[in-house]
Amino acid sequence: MSKLVYLKDVVTLQLNSESCSGCAMCATVCPRGVFEISHRKAKVADRDACIECGACAQNCPEGAVSVRVGVGCASAVINSMLGINNSGCCSMDQYENDKAAAKGTGC
Amino acid sequence: MRYKIDPGLYALGAPDADSPVLISASFKMSFDLLREALPARNAWVLVLDTDGINVWCAAGKGTFGTEELAGRIESCGLSRVVKHRKIIVPQLGAPGISAHEIQKLTGFKVAYGPIRASDLPDFIDSGLKARPGMREKTFTTGERLSLVPVEIVHAFKNFLMVLPLVFLLGGFSGQGMFVANALRFGGATALGLLMAIAAGCLVTPLLLPWLPGRAFSIKGLWPGITFGVLFLVLRNIVSALPAASTLESAAWMLLIPAISAYLAMNFTGCSTFTSLSGVKKEMRWAVPAQIAAVVLGAMLWITSVFI
Ligand code: SF4
Ligand code: SF4
């Protein structure tokens, strides 16, 4: 099955090639295979696959990647709009969600 | 919290100063999966205090984070326990951890392990190298199905809240006794709502990769429309109730797809491929449309009860 992708042209991922050293850390941590390394530079190869988890930005030693981090979860957005705190899918049904997440699914 | 384990350093088997060090979260299942993945192996497991939450979610919140990891390495005296300076951090913890910061703060080099714990033996045996595929998050049918019960329970809570209203309004439908009507018409209505839930919480997740559209609300529309038609067929042909009026049919064809689309939209949080920017963009048009359809559908349905 090919990779599932969400909406087109919407994510906030930014890569500054100039400061990139080609260390490939971003490609290592990305759970969505967004980056490719060619000629000792990182390249955003599959932008729409990005889920804005922030792993790449956290782990780029050159600070060449930036992204507005968030969880793509509609119920969390609704809860925060309604002023219900503790939002975030992760806190809703702790155990069941965690069980799936621990297996490598989202939350 | 029942699913919490104490943070600290644990031994799997009989590890020594050369054994690998694996980092985990204080969620019991994360720890158990690690242990099951490495039977008959000697390793250290350093459990971070994530408040009983799994690695991925805790990394998003920042509790599975650089500061906690550096502090825990320090407080457990890891540099005295092992001779080498390598730790294996689960890749799904990367959003919370800054590998170069950890090296600066503690001298330990972070090797990001595979996404699935079951790939760990392979990863360790190949000298901490991930094979292709080990680094990508999947969303298989099994993974999607395992999330269905949670979604159904959520939807069911709301369903139970509207149920009294459904039976009350059912009582005013048709001729005859109030209680008998409440059961017959209310029962049919309850079935309609249950089918909407099934469309949004079961069929949509199951068929997710194949449903047309990128926005989850659009994906949820197709099972919703199908189940809307199916419901009307059941309602008119199979049940002994008088056939639904045009008004009532229209109401159902608005309500079931709209509810299904809404529930499908809420599955974004369970999925592994949505971004917050994307979800916000979808919600800008999807939520107003869903509310409009539900309000209109409810109005049509109530009108159909009283005329
Ligand atoms: S982590 Fe940063 S420096 Fe390294 S390849 Fe990626 S963008 Fe370039
Ligand atoms: S934010 Fe996450 S998904 Fe997006 S490119 Fe970075 S690591 Fe990959």
CA atoms within 13 A on the CB side of B8: 5
Residue ranges matching CATH 3.30.70.20 in chain A: 1-69
- Model-level pTM? 0.88
Do residues B214 and B113 both lie within one domain?
A: no
Number of domains comprising chain B: 2
pLDDT of residue A85: 62
Whether B275 sits inside 8 A of A6 (CB atoms) is yes
CA–CA gap between residue B304 and residue A20 (Å, rounded): 65
Say yes or no: CB of residue A67 within 6 Å of ligand 2: yes
Name the percent of chain A lying above pLDDT 90.
Answer: 62
Whether chain A has a CB inside 8 Å of the CB on B99: the answer is yes
Q: Rounded to the nearest 5°, which phi and psi values hold at B226? A: -60, -45
* Inter-chain CB proximity A71 and B281 less than 8 Å: no
Mutate to test the pocket of ligand 1, among A13, A16, A25, A38 (most ligand atoms within 8 A of CB): A25
Distances (CA, A) of B95 to A34, A55, B91: 15, 4, 9
Q: Which of B125, B152, B175 is the last residue of a domain?
A: B125
Angle (CA) B137 B143 B144, round 5°: 110
For residue B118, being part of any structural domain is answered with yes
- For B43, the token pair is 């390793």
Q: Which residues of B touch A68 (CB under 8 A)?
A: 276-277
Answer whether residue A106 shows pLDDT above 80: no
Q: Are the C-beta atoms of residues B130 and B114 closer than 8 Å to each other?
A: yes
A1-69 CATH pick, 3.40.50.1820, 3.10.350.10, 1.20.1250.10, 3.30.70.20: 3.30.70.20
Q: Say if residue B116 is in the same domain as residue B34.
A: yes
High-pLDDT (> 70) share of chain B, %: 99
Backbone angles phi, psi at B244, to 5 degrees: -70, 145
Facing residue for A7 by CB, picked from B97, B271, B282: B282
Q: How confident is the model at residue A87 (pLDDT cuts 50, 70, 90)?
A: very low
How many Å lie between the centroid of ligand 2 and the Cα of residue A98?
21
Q: pLDDT: is B223 or B173 the higher one? A: B223
State the residue range of the domain holding B229: 141-306
Ligand 2 contact via A42 beta carbon (within 6 Å): no
- Protein residue with its CA nearest to atom 2 in ligand 1: A60
Give the relative orientation of helices B178-198 and B141-171 as an angle to the nearest 10 degrees.
160
**Average pLDDT value for chain B:** 92
What tokens appear for B49 in the block?
A: 């205090």
Q: Are B64 and B48 in contact (CB under 8 A)?
A: yes
Give the span between the Cα atoms of B9 and B7, in whole angstroms.
Answer: 7
User: Residue A92: is its pLDDT beyond 60?
Assistant: no
Taking residues B235-249, what's their average pLDDT? 84
- B95, A58: Cβ pair inside 8 Å? yes
Residue A2 pLDDT level (bands cut at 50, 70, 90): low
Tell me the residue type at A23: C
Q: What is the per-residue pLDDT across B114-125, written as a single tens digit (0 to 9) for each?
A: 999 999 999 999
